[in-house]
Structure 1
Amino acid sequence: MTESLRTRLARLKFNLFPAYRFGGGRVTYVRHDWQEIHVEVPLSWRTRNYAGTIFGGSLYAAVDPIYMMMLIQTLGEEFTVWDTEAEIDFQKPGESTLSAEMEIPDSELEPLRELDPGESTNRTYEVDLVDEDGTVHATVEKTLYVRRDDQ
């Protein structure tokens, strides 16, 4: 699937947002329906740690807001979405650009859309940050709280 003009503009605005921009990551793709987003974290002077590899905080910052943003955009204003937990498992130092592809399929959204007003649930998502060869360098697990607002 492709980006729409609307998601392309949202991607550009998001990459300019200071809290995201200065973490060192960048959003490289937003599918037209917001159900798939790709990010990259290059090894650069902004992301390099004392050991010469990608700073773990940059890896986490690149994926931190993405699932919440995807759910807010796909579910709409009648839902409240919050991050509640996160965990990162560092497996190998990042010595080159790392990327992550996050996707929320329709089968995941359907039960959320069926929540009754005032009803809530938690959802856990996992994403790998990989190099160009597909080697996993870190795995991030995010837990999000989703509630259908009272109407």
Structure 2
Amino acid sequence: MTDSPTGVDRDPDPRPLREDPPAESLRTRLWRHGFNLLPAYRGTGARVDHIGADWRFVRVRIPCNWRTRNGVGTIFGGSLYGAIDPLYMTMLRRVLGDEFTVWDKSASVEFLEPGRDTLYAECELPAAETTAIRDALAPGESTDREYLVSLVDDEGVVHAACEKTLYVRRDER
């Protein structure tokens, strides 16, 4: 996708869904249920299916049903984006802790194929990523981090790719 109009300069990840996601804890299971009850997230029609115990893995599901379907019978683009919008920001905030400020800065979505079946997105946050952020930022300094999320069907076909840019700042305390 080098010449894409959205600026996404790498190919979407066509990996199949993980069969062995990291285990959930009681705490992340409760967070998952709370997330799914949050009116703003519930309105997307998506559901958080899994949150790893260490907040480094999240899987969401976007069904093609009466709540998410648009006028031509495919999943509404707003539902696709809304399903993944808060994920990396929430993951980074939970992993980095209160000494960091994390905000969404920008996003771009490339719709590659209409979604006529349930789609899934998996977000992973490697330990090396958060270690690099901690090591790179002194108090008061900030950085932008980019994450690519693919929305795939059961067979791993990529229907949309979203690139998120997050602003991360180590607070002065």
Which category of TM-score, normalised to the shorter sequence, fits these structures? over 0.9
* In structure 1, C-alpha distance between the alignment counterparts of 2:86 and 2:34, rounded to whole Å: 14
In the TM superposition, 1:73-112 aligns within 5 A as: 73-112=94-133
Residue of structure 1 in register with 2:149 after alignment: 127
What letter matches 1:101 in structure 2?
Answer: E
Q: Does 1:140 align with 2:123?
A: no
Percent identical pairs in the alignment equals: 58
C-alpha deviations, 1:45-76, integer Å up to 9, x for none?
00000000000000000000000000000000
Question: Which residue identity lines up with residue 154 of structure 2 in the other structure?
Answer: E
TM-score by length of 2: 0.87
- Give the superposition deviation at 1:13: 0.2
CA distance in 2: counterparts of 1:48 and 1:64, whole angstroms:
18
**AA at the equivalent of 1:127:** V
Q: For residues 51 and 91 of structure 1, what CA distance do their matches in structure 2 show?
A: 16
CA distances 1:70-127 after superposition (whole Å, capped 9, x unpaired)? 0000000000000000000000000000001100101111111121100100000001
Question: Where do 4+ consecutive residues of structure 1 move more than 4 Å?
Answer: none
* 1:61 and 2:82 correspond: yes
TM-score, scaled relative to structure 1? 0.99
CA RMSD of aligned residues (A): 0.5
In structure 2, distance between residues paired with 1:113 and 1:4: 25
- One-letter amino acid of the structure 1 residue matched with residue 163 of structure 2: E
